[in-house]
Amino acid sequence: MERTESNLNSCLPRIRSSFNDLTKTEQKTATYILENPSEVIHMTITELAEAAKNAEATVFRLCKKLGFSGYQELKIALAGDLYTPLESVYKEVSPSDSIKSMMNKIFFGINEGLQDTLKIVDEEAIEKAIQAITATRRIDVYASGGSAIIASDIEHRFMRFGISVRAYSDPHLQIASATLLQPGDLVIAVSHTGANRDVLDAVTMAKSNHVTTIAITSYIRSPLSQIADIALHGMGREINYRSEAMASRLVHLAIVDVLYIGSLLRQQDKIIENMNKVRKSIAKRKI
Amino acid sequence: MERTESNLNSCLPRIRSSFNDLTKTEQKTATYILENPSEVIHMTITELAEAAKNAEATVFRLCKKLGFSGYQELKIALAGDLYTPLESVYKEVSPSDSIKSMMNKIFFGINEGLQDTLKIVDEEAIEKAIQAITATRRIDVYASGGSAIIASDIEHRFMRFGISVRAYSDPHLQIASATLLQPGDLVIAVSHTGANRDVLDAVTMAKSNHVTTIAITSYIRSPLSQIADIALHGMGREINYRSEAMASRLVHLAIVDVLYIGSLLRQQDKIIENMNKVRKSIAKRKI
DNA sequence: TATATAAATGAAAATATTTTTCAATAATTA
DNA sequence: TAATTATTGAAAAATATTTTCATTTATATA
């Protein structure tokens, strides 16, 4: 999926999110920028190239790859980043931390992930996703491993709309469901890495059936983002303690919230009726 | 290129304070910048000169006069001025909101929930919960509805510890599992309201089997919090659009992260402790 | 008011920076 | 291994910037 040029408002999160897709020399430059952002905003492309020990052309290609129109745009975005208070303090959790301190760091990391997501969000893609959701009668959700709970959440949430929503974490069921989909149906695929083979296969199958596909991943240039019709990214900077894609799943859930509320607002009348029904039934089970 | 010592974070204020000292044409340019800052950061000096209807040299002189080393420095400073931090006023999401604005509000609401949780957190309870988790060999997790995904997440996460963890969202299975639990086992019950009858029944049954119980809810005085041995609360202030416990489930997941990382760190302690024991035993043998 | 002086301005030249192109090299695939 | 593709940097081309300088405009003074 291609990116729009309209929302280029942040540089560092973008670099982090795309880092693995960069070439070796590009990574050298990217690292230099990540480590010396406040120097870079005063440097010419020639100076940066020299500092990062490669050619101007490489720096320029990096700019393009990150979605900027050129070096100037990157610098402008970087300057904006530098006044983010969040950029500053990020620490690793250590065994000697108090409970309070540990919680502080974990919660702060989550919030950072949310903030970064806000910066790199492709509003147009969110808009398209919401439109796709409000237009469909059936949603199949594919995910596995840690992302399976995101899929369950999507199932649980959108079910209230009265749409048929089903989450599949089993690869065979994913393919089976994808095979049976028809134009007008919708697939949402969730994967932290965006490189899960089973999910990719299922999405490919769905696409061959002319089904609209939405991807939710943490990496902009992941294979899943590439093949999906609509790609959404949560920038989940991770707490560095044996992180198991921790913050990212919270960020992905937050994106689900956005899709949910967005869809709700788009088709209030139809849905609110259903939701009230559901809420009343549930209330009976409560003391 | 020459370095500047100029303070970056002050282009617009600097223009305002120097405005009266500027010449007529300089003021024309200054006015244009004041009125279109977000355009200017993407313009070349030639474009700005044309837009403000005067020569490049004038624009350049303005830059110098304002204390910048050149046009680039002015733009960088301007980009810094322009950075708008996350909306601090929390409002309800409305259908007329843009995608960006909606996301801002939702993400901000989540962060507020996290911050509030930090404020009211019972560190002692967290500590006890972590101890209970690291001490047990079996965890059964009860939840239903929207909280079921929290339960799945707990299952998925703590499984990696090598403990037997099983999440039950089905009321019958919850009761069945609670009936079979034995002292030393652990129950974690998750419920947003803390008033789900089935979960309450299962927890009561578990307690009658002398099993330690941990509750994760959003309400301190909920029935579930009252009967559980250890009660954890996520303050999930909700986004006010027909919220179905939205932010709260993210906050609850964040609490799970805290328990997970906390347990991980404690186990590390335990390993070091064991190593010390071994070393001491060896020392004794040397007497 | 006319004139001298200083300040302001823009056109164009001189620099500097940026993009683009392209050939060489490295990596990958068949 | 050969063929193909991707990566890279040097250099050219295109743009952008700063500087210079002649001209214009304003200001002060006789």
B271 and B145 together in one domain: yes
Residue B285 lies in a domain: no
**Tokens 């919090």, located at residue:** B225
Give a yes or no: residue A159 inside a domain: yes
In a domain, B248, yes or no: yes
Q: B153 and A239 in contact by Cβ < 8 A?
A: no
Same domain flag for B183 and B58: no
Are residues A254 and A175 located together in one domain of the fold?
A: yes
Residue B3 beta carbon within 7 A of nucleic strand C:
no
Among B50, B82, B114, the domain-final residue is B82
Q: Is residue A58 part of a domain?
A: yes
Q: How far is the CA of B44 from the C1' of C14 (A)?
A: 19
Looking at the fold, whether A133 and A23 belong to one and the same domain comes out as no
- Residue A220's pLDDT is 79
Identify whether the C-beta of residue B49 lies closer than 8 Å to the C-beta of residue B55.
Answer: yes
Whether residues A131 and A77 fall in one domain: no
The answer to whether position B140 is within a domain reads yes
Distance in angstroms, CA of A21 to C1' of D1? 29
> Which chain B residues have a beta carbon less than 8 Å from that of A103?
118, 121, 126, 258
Domain match, A74 and A133 both: no
B123/A98 touch (CB, cutoff 8 Å), yes or no? yes
Query: 246-275 in A: which are within 8 Å (CB) of B?
Result: 246, 249-250, 253-254, 257-258, 260-262, 264-266, 268, 272, 275
pLDDT digits (tens, 9 = 90+) for A132-151: 999 999 999 999 888 999 99
Domain that holds residue A52: 12-86
A151 class by beta-carbon count within 10 Å (0-12 exposed, 13-18 middle, 19+ buried): buried
B282 to chain A, minimum CA–CA distance in Å?
26
Q: What is the pLDDT along chain B (287 residues), one digit of tens a residue?
A: 333 333 445 688 778 777 877 888 888 888 898 888 888 988 889 889 988 888 889 899 999 888 888 898 888 888 887 765 443 334 567 777 888 888 888 888 788 788 778 877 888 999 999 999 999 989 999 998 889 999 999 998 888 777 899 999 999 999 999 999 999 999 999 998 888 889 999 999 999 999 999 999 988 778 899 999 999 988 755 544 445 456 788 889 999 999 988 888 877 655 445 545 655 665 554 44
- Laid out side by side, the sheet with A138-143 consists of A164-168, A138-143, A186-190, A212-217, A230-233
Residue range A191-234, pLDDT digits in tens: 988 888 899 999 999 999 999 999 999 887 788 988 999 999 98
Residue that finishes a domain, picked among A29, A64, A86: A86
Residue A124 has pLDDT above 80, yes or no: yes
B278 min Cα distance to partner chain A (Å): 21
Name the CA radius of gyration of chain B, rounded.
30
By CB atoms closer than 10 A (0-12, 13-18, 19+), residue A106 is buried
- Measuring from the CA of residue B72 to each C1', which nucleotide is nearest? D17
When divided into structural domains, chain B yields a total of 2
B44 found inside a domain: yes
Out of B82, B108, B125, pick the residue that ends a domain: B82
Q: Do residue A57 and residue A168 come from a single domain?
A: no
CATH code of A220's domain:
3.40.50.10490
- Would you say residue A223 lies in a domain? yes
**Position B62 in a domain:** yes
Q: Based on the domain organization, do A61 and A148 belong to the same domain?
A: no
Q: Are residues A49 and A185 in the same domain?
A: no
CATH number at residue B57: 1.10.10.10
Q: Same domain for B46 and B164?
A: no
- A55 lies in the same domain as A139: no
The reply to whether B128 and B262 lie within a common domain is yes
| φ, ψ at B78 (rounded to 5°) | -60, -45
Residues of A in contact with B1 (CB under 8 A): 42-44, 47
Contact B14, B66 (CB under 8 A): yes
Mapped onto helix, strand or coil, the DSSP state of residue B85 is coil
DSSP state of B196: B
Three-state secondary structure string covering chain A = CCCCCCCCCCCHHHHHHHHHHCCHHHHHHHHHHHHCHHHHCCCCHHHHHHHCCCCHHHHHHHHHHCCCCCHHHHHHHHHHHHCCHHHCCCCCCCCCCCHHHHHHHHHHHHHHHHHHHHHHCCHHHHHHHHHHHHHCCEEEEEECHHHHHHHHHHHHHHHHHCCEEEEECCHHHHHHHHHHCCECEEEEEECCCCCCHHHHHHHHHHHHCCCEEEEEECCCCCHHHHHCCEEEECCCCCCCCCCCCHHHHHHHHHHHHHHHHHHHHHCHHHHHHHHHHHHHHHHCCEC
E strands, B129-284, are 138-143, 164-168, 186-190, 212-217, 230-233
